[in-house]
Amino acid sequence: MRQVANLIGCLATIAVMGMASCSKVVTPQSIISKGERLALNDWDNDSIEIITTGTAGFIIRYKESVLVADPFIGNPSMNKVVSGKIYPDTVYAKSIYNKELLAKAKAVIIGHGHYDHVLDLPAISDELNKDVRVFCNRSVANIVAATSLKDNVVNVESVSGSYSREGEWQYTKDSSIRVMAFKSTHPPHFLGITLYSGDVEAPLSKLPEKANGWKMGLPLTFLVDFMEAGKPVCRIYAQSSACSDSMGLFPAGMMDDKKVDVAFTAAASSKKRLAQLLATVKYVQPRVEIITHWDNFFERITVEQQVKSMAKCDAAKNYQSLEKEYGPAIKVVLPRQGSRFVVAGK
């Protein structure tokens, strides 16, 4: 058993090194958006503000309610991930995240327990609204038990839905945001193996120091509604890891109630996954499609730096394929970390 574990550990090291060392500059850089106003026809609501924070993370504000997704911004180096220790970078995270927005955060959603989706949640925990609710899977709930947010966690695994069945809506304390989770998948990293799979089985008293301690658990996608007078006025679809087939999707009948305004979908890293990404966007039918989890998260991005994509992820092809297939009916965005977008009417 130990020999198998050591072999997997060695393969994991090779896989991570490959992901980092083979990153490449996206060309042309002009397709990467540094922020813009996204004007939509028939948009009768107040504007929404979106900030993409890198990897699968983003922040959305509608009026006085804020949603935070997959808080990870520290980007520890490959060496630390492979053989060192990783920690939430509180000083760096607080210097990047907008304190005013965090103070208005009513909900946090986390797609799964890998460190690149949740590592910096503890770093910003004391900046978040005291009534914030953290919607996540069991593994993440047990990790967050080691932080000051342990009483704010809502484990949504048991109430998550699927392509054929609705889940249960979960509301923020003030009912300004509601969240529904759906069972999803995570693509393998190499040789059919998904790194750091499994669950953190019991509540932790201390955060994991190694990357392999941040266990994935059940991957989730989310529908998130910003609410007014008990009705959804803005709907978000958040998919933080590439799905397969119908996994991670919601029943089509839910769009009779409210269509998706903005979708965040993880970039594809192969021809097969690109076809699945195109199929996902066709099914979800968002007005704005934002591609996430394409940038190299083993290094921090400076203002002047050319942005690199992860190994095997052809970010330009992702963007160009979506644009060719669905533009201009769907506004396709490949965002740079820290970009600010405003969705509003024309």
Q: Residue ranges per domain, the chain?
A: 2-345
The whole-model pTM stands at 0.93
Q: Which CATH fold topology does 2-345 show?
A: Metallo-beta-lactamase; Chain A (3.60.15)
Q: Give the separation between CA 68 and CA 336, rounded to whole angstroms.
A: 17
Has residue 305 got a pLDDT over 70? no
Has residue 7 got a pLDDT over 70? no
pLDDT class for 10, splitting at 50, 70, 90? Answer: very low
pLDDT in tens, 178-233: 999 999 999 888 778 888 999 999 999 999 999 999 999 999 999 999 999 999 99
Buried b (16+ CB within 10 A) or exposed e, 294-331: bbbbbebbeeeeebbbbbbbbbbebbebbbeebeeebb
Identity of the amino acid at 184: S
Average pLDDT over residues 321-335: 95
Exposed/middle/buried for residue 192 (C-beta within 10 Å: 0-12, 13-18, 19+)? exposed
Q: Which of 303, 184, 178, 193 is nearest to 246 (CA)?
A: 184
Average pLDDT over residues 136-143: 98
